[in-house]
Amino acid sequence: MKQNWNWAEKREKVAFLALADGTVMRGYSVGAAVDAVGEVVFNTGMSGYQEILTDPSYSGQFVTMTYPEIGNIGFNLEDMESRQLFANGFIMHDMNEPSNWRANETLSECLKRNKIPAIAGLDTRALTTLLREKGTQKAFMSVTGKVNEAAGLARAREWPGLDGQDYAAKVSCDKPYKWDPDGKLTTSWGSADKLPPTDLKIVAYDYGIKWNILRSMRRNGMDVTVVPAKTSADAVLKMKPDGVFLSNGPADPAAVTYAVDAAKQLLGKVPIMGICLGHQILGIAVGGKTYRLKFGHHGCNQPVKDLTTEKVEITSQNHNFAVDIKSLDSSLVEVTHVNLNDQTVEGLRHKKEPMFCVQYHPEAAPGPHDPFYLFARFRELIGS
């Protein structure tokens, strides 16, 4: 798993990132030899790049890691969050060799195998500052040498971006499946005998679901069947679930109209929990609206206050859109969580029907255990 990058190789693998605002940043290629377009975001996590790259919510995006040294833990099969890498591209300051006994391959090898382009050698501090000041940028990543900088800028500007785009259908599963019936994926570090017996039947919509969400529900005694994003509410209700879960996912929630329609039909007929995109879908389903954040929330250090307990949680987040608090009918829904950085909505609860949702990712454990109670709360909601 050697990946020693010498200066000759860096000169030979020259690459650039062209932003729609006219900025061009240069580095060297460390991933697949594939040019790509994407939306540039920055992630504030010091680690977790494998979980980031395998999170389907990053589909359509170029992820910039703000921590400068990336790659030292390599890639391994146990920490995957989905079946493959979904980000459109990866940006870092420096790529390291792995030094971890759990590594199956290097970061570079995995990027190449999954046909994901990546650039190292950029000033990621300067890029992050630009994104904070100007907002998320459409961009073109050139790693093949076949496109010059002027053409790269034109491609960045011509790309339609993620607004109004349904990416959930692109990353969703093709057919229903039962999650981990023997417990092997849920208990990679222990015995399946330690898992509680399943006594609740859950149907989970896959808009880009992360495996650790499924692991968390299984650890809470839930037998989970995952269904494709466009599965109708009628088809779900025929499965007679005890509860329905709406997952995380990429791009613009307002574009996933079929999911909003399904949520409206399910509301009041079965207990519902939503995370991230699922939270936004439920926000729209109860009459709210969503809007784009300037540069989004991407990272594992976002402080969120639970208004029902007054406790503050350190959370992991990945979203570019938020539910507009002013658009919500306070007689129907209650805001349960807020982001302490910008006061955006982080959680909702329906006042009349069994439904709640959160914008952040309770399964990601940055606290490391702060938000795990939410899966237990889902059990309580079903039992109430």
Residues designated catalytic: 276, 361, 363
Q: How far apart are CA 50 and CA 368, in angstroms?
A: 17
Structure letter (DSSP) for residue 285: H
Structural contact between residues 359 and 346, judged by C-beta atoms closer than 8 angstroms: yes
Structural contact between residues 65 and 107, judged by C-beta atoms closer than 8 angstroms: no
Give the residue from 135, 137, 95 showing the smallest Cα distance to 112. Answer: 95
Give the residue from 381, 361, 356 showing the smallest Cα distance to 263. Answer: 356
Give the residue from 336, 354, 356 showing the smallest Cα distance to 346. Answer: 336
Burial class (CB in 10 A: 0-12, 13-18, 19+), 314: middle
Q: How far apart are CA 25 and CA 10, in angstroms?
A: 15
Burial class (CB in 10 A: 0-12, 13-18, 19+), 94: middle
Q: How far apart are CA 108 and CA 74, in angstroms?
A: 9
**Which residues are CB-neighbours of 101 under 8 A, at least 6 positions away?**
none
Question: Letter for the amino acid at 20?
Answer: A
Q: Is 213 helix (H, G, I), strand (E, B) or coil?
A: helix
